Structure 1
Amino acid sequence: MLLMQLTLLIVCAYLMGRLANRVGLPAVVGELSVGVLLGPSVLGWIAPGVSNALFPRDTAQFHLLDSVAQLGVLLLVGVTGISLDFKLLRRRGGTVVWTSLLGLVIPFGLGVAAAMMLLPDALRPTDTQPVVFALFLGVALCVSAIPVIAKTLLDMGLIHRNVGQLILAAGTMDDVVGWLLLSVVSAMAVDGLHTGTVLEPVLYLAAILLVLMVVGRPLVRWAMRWAQRSESSASVVVTAVAIILVCATGTAALGLEPVFGAFLGGILIGTSGTVSLSSLAPLNNGLSATLAPLFFATAGLRMDMRSLVHPAVLVGGLLILGVAIFGKFAGALLGGLTGRLDRWEILALGAGMNARGVVQLVVASVGLRLGVLNTESYTIIVLTAVITSVMAPPLLKHATRRLSVTVEEESRRRTMEPLLN
């Protein structure tokens, strides 16, 4: 069953990705739509027997598929960390900080306010405290999705552009804070609010960063230098993959998200000063062709849009979607103005930050598991993640077409060329 599912999703994701490219969209748009078409939203509605035969509602079977897809997202995020240009980020750090901060605070506050005053009771489980539900919705709306952003920027050849680097950096800060907030709100849902529920994830994060700076950097530099001595690029690829997965394992062991650890591992590799990006081209090629499309296709399988036929759920969904989009673009606008960006850079920054993708899917899954969300609110949050992710590519294309390529960007493109091809 697993092998059949992998074959179907990878082939369909490839075909839909090609179709998306034909109509002027990045492949990630087509890849995200595969799960929607094959899952309960479309195939499950038209031919439920066929859908259940292909993707049975067995939890263990779904975990198998998720495990393979998880490998794809960890490697994708790791490659993204390798691609970050820290010289640019240090120079424009104020823009990154303000964009990230405002892109968190505005949608978080609007989400909490909407949940407390405007959303119908049908979206909140009867045994969930209104404050916990409101805080959880605020967290779900304030996160961005580094995996979707990274894949979109790679597909569109924008990861070397200055605005692409700013999107990645601001999105990363959003996700770090978002995972911390998720840890706190999840603990509140289970045990109530205590000092330990707030301090523990913050202390873990500080410890991780300290260990990586003191121990991780010299170890990674030595490992990558050793791998580069080989005539084959295989040793470099294996070493890079091992570093990314070890860092992901470390954060997962501390109760933080493994995606965050994978991103830190990629940063360590990229800043080691010993890596030739051409030697990592085989990793990027295999990732872009199989594991990353599989991950995005799998994400859409959890959606069930049939619950939107109820008027209260539909109105609540439109309100949540509007709050999510407005909050991120408002944060990008105010943050971009502080960094003196022009209107097209602000539009591109808002479009990239608005993509929520799998991060919001993970948050929604946690909420459903803890009983903070019901099926209706879960479906709305997942739908918001997909719509905002699909919105990003055309807006990015429209905005970046009007931005001139600088000498710095062209130099960065030549450096990153093995990852862009």
Structure 2
Amino acid sequence: MPLAAPVPTIGQHALLVFLLQVAFLLLLALVLGRLAMRFRLPAVAGELSAGVLVGPSLLQPLLPGFSDWLLPQQAAQMNLLDAVGQLGVLLLVGVTGAEMNFALVRRRGLTAAKVSVAGLVLPLGLGIATGFLLPRSFVPAGTDPTVFALFLGVAMCVSALPVIAKTLLDMKLLHRDIGQLILAAGVVDDVAGWFLLSVVSAMATVGLTAGVVAQSVLYPVGVVLFAVVIGRPLVRAALRRAGRSQSAMPTVGTAVVLVLFGSAATQAMHLEAIFGAFVCGVLIATSGVVDPQKLEPLRTLVLAVLAPLFFATAGLRMDLTALARPAVLGAAVAVLFVAVAGKFGGAFIGSRLSRLNRWEALALGAGMNSRGVVEVIVAMTGLRLGILNTETYTIVVLVAIVTSLMAPPILRYAMAHVEEAAETRLGMDTRTAAAPEGTPDRGPDAVRTTEQRGDA
């Protein structure tokens, strides 16, 4: 029996182009990310801009020859870059899940639930309605309009917990009650968002029938139940064994293997791989046996290298020249308005129902309205599944960027009025006076505007 011919390795030229793609995009993403942070903007805005600059929006029209050499429109070549980006986003979602603090949700319980539910239901409904109202030219050929509308609804209702946390940290609000409440609601939003994305992705992959809809809902529920009953003790045992070493390497390696196996499992079920990555990340967070310091090398690698590279590759798919067409520009403005009105309005309403004053509600709305990282991941998922075309993908990523840029100035404005109101009520300057250490909390559903500020 003749031996099978060996699989050809990657060609020298293809490898050269791939290495230059990664080096060039990563360098540009890091530089622009740091530049964005210098202007007190989210780093993701600069990292996305790296891809936009070398994509069809700028480099292709200006230097088509160089663009075609660096980014050849060949599936085999671009798939190499996509594979690295997919690895980066799976580990990013896994790290995000591993940093979830469910104690926040328990402490802020009812208020966080009201803010999160209102901030999910209203934008979800408005996004679905918008998806049905957009012209059919924005729906890719072969995509069910209902699936497209459902996907747009999911894209409108997500929040970006990593961007929210970084914004609160930069503004020294992370340890304030208002910051903790925003984070608690963001945790609930993240869990619901990944669940909904997995459901809609399954519908897009398998088809839209009553049986598929039921299966799409039951499968994620089954994954969660399996994770809680069987996955948690297995993850705990694996991490406990890895943690016996003084080195961080076994823990990092075990965490990566768990996230990738979880991703593969949900991908095999026609759910999204990122759903499995997120679930495994949450299992790591709730295992109770991991020293957070041992996961720091993984977090550093993901945030410093893999995540910026993923966002740069995401920016490659944006075509801002499409906005020159009145129909696309009009759709972009409409979708952005719906996204802001739904998320901001929903969180504001939920806050007011929890008896927070209007400035506190404004701060909650601003924080929850930030889409950033999660929305970009959702958009990339939609593009890969064929639910979005280039125009709708560009619009959704623009929503992610604009809403992330909106959050810091609105939060500063709202918190200035929160502190001013507290000063008026208490006859003190809360911006310079700190609450005595050990001041008792007024309950999980109350926001102490005079709580001592903390900096992580």
For the 8 Å contact 1:307–1:313, the answer to whether it is kept is yes
Segment drifting more, 199-208 vs 55-64: 55-64
Shift of 1:157: 7.7
Segment drifting more, 302-311 vs 103-112: 103-112
For the 8 Å contact 2:263–2:273, the answer to whether it is kept is yes
Aligned-partner residue type, residue 356 of structure 1:
R
| Cα-to-partner distance string for 1:253-285 (whole Å, 9 max, x where unaligned) | 212222222222122112222121122222222
Counterpart residue number, 2:20: 4
Q: Measure, in 1, the Cα distance between the counterparts of 2:130 and 2:65.
A: 38
Is 2:190 the partner of 1:172? Answer: yes
Shift of 1:8: 0.8
**Count of residues in Structure 1 that have an aligned counterpart in Structure 2:** 407
Match of 1:294 among 309, 314, 317: 309
Match of 2:272 among 257, 264, 279: 257
Q: Measure, in 2, the Cα distance between the counterparts of 1:50 and 1:158.
A: 45
Give the TM-score of the pair, scaled to structure 2: 0.78
Match of 2:117 among 101, 104, 118: 101
Q: Measure, in 1, the Cα distance between the counterparts of 2:385 and 2:407.
A: 30
Q: Against the structure 1 CA distance between its residues 6 and 326, is the aligned structure 2 distance closer, same or farther, given a 3 Å change threshold? A: same
For the 8 Å contact 2:41–2:405, the answer to whether it is kept is no
For the 8 Å contact 2:165–2:183, the answer to whether it is kept is no
For the 8 Å contact 2:157–2:339, the answer to whether it is kept is yes
Give the TM-score of the pair, scaled to structure 1: 0.83
Q: Against the structure 1 CA distance between its residues 400 and 227, is the aligned structure 2 distance closer, same or farther, given a 3 Å change threshold? A: farther
Match of 1:219 among 208, 229, 234: 234
Q: Measure, in 1, the Cα distance between the counterparts of 2:211 and 2:275.
A: 21
Which ranges in structure 2 are unaligned for 5 or more consecutive residues? 1-16, 420-429, 439-454
Counterpart residue number, 1:412: none
| Cα-to-partner distance string for 1:26-56 (whole Å, 9 max, x where unaligned) | 3222212211112111222322332222222
Counterpart residue number, 2:424: none
| Cα-to-partner distance string for 1:318-357 (whole Å, 9 max, x where unaligned) | 1111111111101111222334445555444433433334
Shift of 1:371: 6.1
Which ranges in structure 1 are unaligned for 5 or more consecutive residues? 409-416
Q: Measure, in 1, the Cα distance between the counterparts of 2:94 and 2:144.
A: 37
More helix by proportion, 1 or 2?
1
| Cα-to-partner distance string for 1:281-340 (whole Å, 9 max, x where unaligned) | 222222221111111211111100111112122112111111111111011112223344
| Cα-to-partner distance string for 1:215-271 (whole Å, 9 max, x where unaligned) | 211122222222221121111211222222222222222122222222221221122
| Cα-to-partner distance string for 1:57-105 (whole Å, 9 max, x where unaligned) | 2223222112112222222222222222222212323333333332232
Q: Against the structure 1 CA distance between its residues 212 and 293, is the aligned structure 2 distance closer, same or farther, given a 3 Å change threshold? A: same
Q: Against the structure 1 CA distance between its residues 13 and 124, is the aligned structure 2 distance closer, same or farther, given a 3 Å change threshold? A: closer
Q: Against the structure 1 CA distance between its residues 399 and 27, is the aligned structure 2 distance closer, same or farther, given a 3 Å change threshold? A: farther
Counting only pairs closer than 5 Å after superposition, residues 134-145 of structure 1 correspond to structure 2 as: 134-145=149-160
Counting only pairs closer than 5 Å after superposition, residues 177-192 of structure 1 correspond to structure 2 as: 177-183=195-201, 186=204, 191=207
For the 8 Å contact 2:372–2:403, the answer to whether it is kept is yes
Aligned-partner residue type, residue 276 of structure 2:
G
SS at match of 1:387: helix
Name the Cα RMSD after superposition. 3.3
Q: Against the structure 1 CA distance between its residues 2 and 126, is the aligned structure 2 distance closer, same or farther, given a 3 Å change threshold? A: closer
Aligned-partner residue type, residue 223 of structure 1:
A
Q: Against the structure 1 CA distance between its residues 256 and 12, is the aligned structure 2 distance closer, same or farther, given a 3 Å change threshold? A: same
